[in-house]
Structure 1
Amino acid sequence: MAITEDSLALNVINESLKLPFIKVDRSDFLTKTFSNKIDDMPKLLREGPQAFFSKEKLDRIASNVIKSNVLQSSSISFASGLPGGIALAATIPADMAQFYGYSLKLAQEISYVYGYQNIWANQGELTEDAKNTLILYLGIMFGVSSAGSTIRILSNKLAIQALKQLPNKTLTKHLYFTILKKVLAIFGTRLTKATFAKGVSKVIPVVGGVLSGSMNYLALKPMANKLKDELGKSINYTQKDFEQDIKILTEEDVLVTDHDPNATTEYSDTSGINPIDKI
């Protein structure tokens, strides 16, 4: 049975999540990043950096986090850098898993700078919702604007309250599932083009099995900056911002709001089943 694009994307994500460096604890990261900038650490951990800094300052801090991570990842020998005991699927190249693993690590750090909550559960486990959030972060890094709109809408109190006023009572659930399916499809298409069209199982150009530092830098930095720009929009989020995000989702056919309140909302997938569960 041929592997689907959605399945390919999910396989790469699952393998990337096996890597030990993927886990970024919010409290540890915030303490390390901000301990020399503020004194009230309990408030920082409780309310987030946005309680202390302007968006402009947070943008600069996020840029520094990106710079540090990109320089570090560019110096890593991706193909030979797997720790002992970490076994990846034979169909997923180690350098591919590590590149996207590092992308997901950086995505967490950027999100924490902008006040998003801890991805990992109390026992250091990754819940299904948290995994879905990481997939949306990847979607933003790929340039899927509707993924950014979805993250802001589903994480902002103002937007959540506004959503309740829309006719569709199941909007949040279907919005989440629909955009996840969209992101996985786009990611899978990119992976397929990069791997099978060229007859090689590499997404990023490699030299002698080791990811080129310059190529890694060129690939990861713009991806991270896209995420920084989108998550930064959650700071000082307004009703106007919410309306713009709804417009983006509507124009991209991610959601439909102009319908009979008693009718079932039209979606590309009306099963109501998590696309990840289906895969």
Structure 2
Amino acid sequence: MANEETVGLKIIEEAFKLPIVKVDRRAFLIQIFQGKVSDIEGLIEKGPQAFLSKEMLDREAQKCIQSITLKSSAVSLATGLPGGIAMAATIPADLLQFFGYSLRLAQEISYIYGFKDLMGENGELSEEAKNTLILYLGIMLGVTSAGSAVRAMSGKLSTQALKKIPQKALTQTLYYPVIKRVLGIFGTKLTKNTFAKGISKAVPVVGGVVSGGINYLSMKPMATKLQTELGKNVAYTEESLQQDLDILEGEFEEVSSDIVSSDTVLSQLERLSHLLETNMITEEEFQQLKQELLKK
């Protein structure tokens, strides 16, 4: 796994541990739609999209985005001040809570548009659920194929998707390439942005205000992207499914090509090491050839 992917996965794994990430789907749907839907059990079983118009679902999703974004910004302000919440390991607290709230908001938006419950019977997230949340985060970061994967597998036409894709290749085709891309993009953004965000705390009070403002300006457009993509589930058709599968096929081919390229470089490095060990090339020649390979 590349360094960027490792960084991204580390943050997400820590965020999964936060209590704010856990959303009780049943309690949430009742809280939001009680008084709007009389058949509560039907609401839980079928989802809000079976009873309400997309326009109404959009309004409720926007309310959730506004509420969670403001809560996250308030906490970010607190952690930007002296004596704020402690860091988890080496991860800045405001960064961790930002993605914790993002993962919570992602679940709430998905439940509004009729997606299944991610919490298991034990009240914990399964590995499949965690993968789904990583895909949600990918949508928020602008990874087009993440939306395609979520809709193809979690939408109302998932049975057709399963028929179109060999069962043994399902995880490789839908999840692995997209999750790999999401983690890579996520990790890259973190390594580029965290240092600058940390500097905003150099002046305590002003830094706190800056931190909260950055939080609000970042989360709202990210959440709106997720709302747009998950909202497509309401009127999802076979034509939509085929378009998503085409996108995923392209993603799979691209990542497979990357893997083949990586294997080729690795095998060449191994051969170079063998040449060095057998004194066929010098240490200087080995280092020079190694650098040239890694630049490819």
What is the TM-score of this pair, normalised by structure 2?
Answer: 0.77
What CA distance in whole angstroms lies between the structure 2 residues aligned with 1:144 and 1:203?
Answer: 26
Unmatched tracts of structure 1, length 5 or more: 257-264, 271-279
What CA distance in whole angstroms lies between the structure 1 residues aligned with 2:140 and 2:12?
Answer: 14
Q: Deviations over 1:78-116 (max 9, x none)?
A: 5179xx9x9753210111101111111111100110111
Give the match for residue 79 of structure 1: 79
- Whether the 8 Å contact between 1:153 and 1:242 is mirrored in structure 2 is yes
Give the match for residue 52 of structure 1: 51
Give the match for residue 249 of structure 2: 250
What CA distance in whole angstroms lies between the structure 1 residues aligned with 2:115 and 2:18?
Answer: 22
Give the match for residue 133 of structure 1: 132
Cα–Cα, structure 1 residues 202 and 16, in superposed 2: closer, same or farther, change >3 Å? farther
What CA distance in whole angstroms lies between the structure 2 residues aligned with 1:165 and 1:126?
Answer: 28
Structure 2 counterpart of 1:171, from 166, 169, 172: 169
What CA distance in whole angstroms lies between the structure 2 residues aligned with 1:48 and 1:12?
Answer: 31
Give the match for residue 68 of structure 1: 67
Moved segments of 4+, more than 6 Å: none
Give the match for residue 220 of structure 2: 221
Cα–Cα, structure 1 residues 18 and 159, in superposed 2: closer, same or farther, change >3 Å? closer
Cα–Cα, structure 1 residues 89 and 74, in superposed 2: closer, same or farther, change >3 Å? closer
What CA distance in whole angstroms lies between the structure 2 residues aligned with 1:205 and 1:185?
Answer: 25
Two-structure CA RMSD over aligned residues (Å): 2.6
How many angstroms does 1:159 deviate by? 4.0
Unmatched tracts of structure 2, length 5 or more: 261-296
Q: Percent identity?
A: 51
Q: Deviations over 1:183-238 (max 9, x none)?
A: 1011011111123xxxx374795562636332211101000000000001111210
The count of aligned residue pairs is 251
What CA distance in whole angstroms lies between the structure 2 residues aligned with 1:237 and 1:171?
Answer: 24
Amino acid at match of 2:118: I
How many angstroms does 1:119 deviate by? 1.2
Amino acid at match of 1:171: A
What CA distance in whole angstroms lies between the structure 2 residues aligned with 1:80 and 1:22?
Answer: 21
How many angstroms does 1:56 deviate by? 2.0
Structure with the higher helix share, 1 or 2 = 2
What CA distance in whole angstroms lies between the structure 1 residues aligned with 2:199 and 2:132?
Answer: 24
Give the match for residue 261 of structure 1: none
Give the match for residue 269 of structure 2: none
What CA distance in whole angstroms lies between the structure 1 residues aligned with 2:42 and 2:161?
Answer: 28
What CA distance in whole angstroms lies between the structure 2 residues aligned with 1:220 and 1:204?
Answer: 20
Give the match for residue 189 of structure 2: 190
Cα–Cα, structure 1 residues 163 and 7, in superposed 2: closer, same or farther, change >3 Å? same
How many angstroms does 1:157 deviate by? 4.1
Give the match for residue 152 of structure 2: 153
What CA distance in whole angstroms lies between the structure 2 residues aligned with 1:116 and 1:186?
Answer: 25
What is the TM-score of this pair, normalised by structure 1?
Answer: 0.81
Q: How do 1:18-33 residues align onto structure 2 when only pairs under 5 Å count?
A: 18-33=17-32
Give the match for residue 277 of structure 1: none
Give the match for residue 6 of structure 1: 5
How many angstroms does 1:165 deviate by? 3.2
What CA distance in whole angstroms lies between the structure 1 residues aligned with 2:64 and 2:104?
Answer: 11
Cα–Cα, structure 1 residues 164 and 89, in superposed 2: closer, same or farther, change >3 Å? same
Cα–Cα, structure 1 residues 89 and 64, in superposed 2: closer, same or farther, change >3 Å? closer
Amino acid at match of 2:44: L
Amino acid at match of 2:171: K
How many angstroms does 1:254 deviate by? 2.8
Give the match for residue 41 of structure 1: 40
How many angstroms does 1:266 deviate by? 4.9
Q: Which has the larger radius of gyration?
A: 2
- Whether the 8 Å contact between 1:144 and 1:183 is mirrored in structure 2 is yes
How many angstroms does 1:68 deviate by? 1.6
